Amino acid sequence: MTPKPAAVPKARILVVDDHPEVVATFGLYFSEKGFVVRGAASAREALALVEKEKFDVIFLDNDMPVATGLQSIAGLSRKSGAPIIMITGHFDPDLKKDALLLGAADCLAKPPDFPELEKRVLKIVEDRKRDYPQG
């Protein structure tokens, strides 16, 4: 009997949030849909992960101790090269404007519409494959 090849993940996602239940919720939804999901409880932990692993998209909370999401966008973007989607429980238009000016791909309110967010992630991954083909 020939072993079944391992399924290729749709994308690798890093969820950065200081609330474990938020990381778990994102992880459960996206892992069930065929994504690889890793979590980090702080910007510092996220920076350590992106030095070791490649991610296609980063979901970043803003309200975290030590360094906020806004303070972390530039460093995470520079070290990972992955698009960052800020997802915050305290959404306002000025926060979105600031996040976009700092280099985030988008800024959304918690809780997100998960099917819509999945479509957005798949579009980002497809666009990046088209713009930066492997090989």
Contact yes or no for 100/47 (Cβ under 8 A): no
Q: What is the pLDDT of residue 9?
A: 75
Which of the four pLDDT bands, split at 50, 70 and 90, describes residue 39?
Answer: very high
List, as one string, the DSSP characters of 60-102: E-S--SSS-HHHHHHHHHHHH---EEEEESS--HHHHHHHHHT
The tokens describing 105, both together, are: 């791909």
Alpha carbons within 13 A on the beta-carbon side of 110:
17
Which of the four pLDDT bands, split at 50, 70 and 90, describes residue 115?
Answer: very high
User: Which SS3 state, helix, strand or coil, does residue 46 take?
Assistant: helix
pLDDT tens, residue by residue, 47-63: 999 999 999 999 999 99
Looking at domain 12-129, its CATH class is: alpha beta
Instruction: Pick the closest to residue 95 from 61, 45, 65 (CA basis).
Output: 61
Q: What is the pLDDT of residue 129?
A: 77
User: Which SS3 state, helix, strand or coil, does residue 118 take?
Assistant: helix
**Region 83-104 average pLDDT:** 95
Percentage of the chain exceeding pLDDT 70: 90
Identity of the residue numbered 23? V
Query: What's this model's pTM, rounded to 2 decimal places?
Result: 0.89
Task: Return the bridge partners of 40, or none.
Answer: 16
Q: What is the pLDDT of residue 135?
A: 43
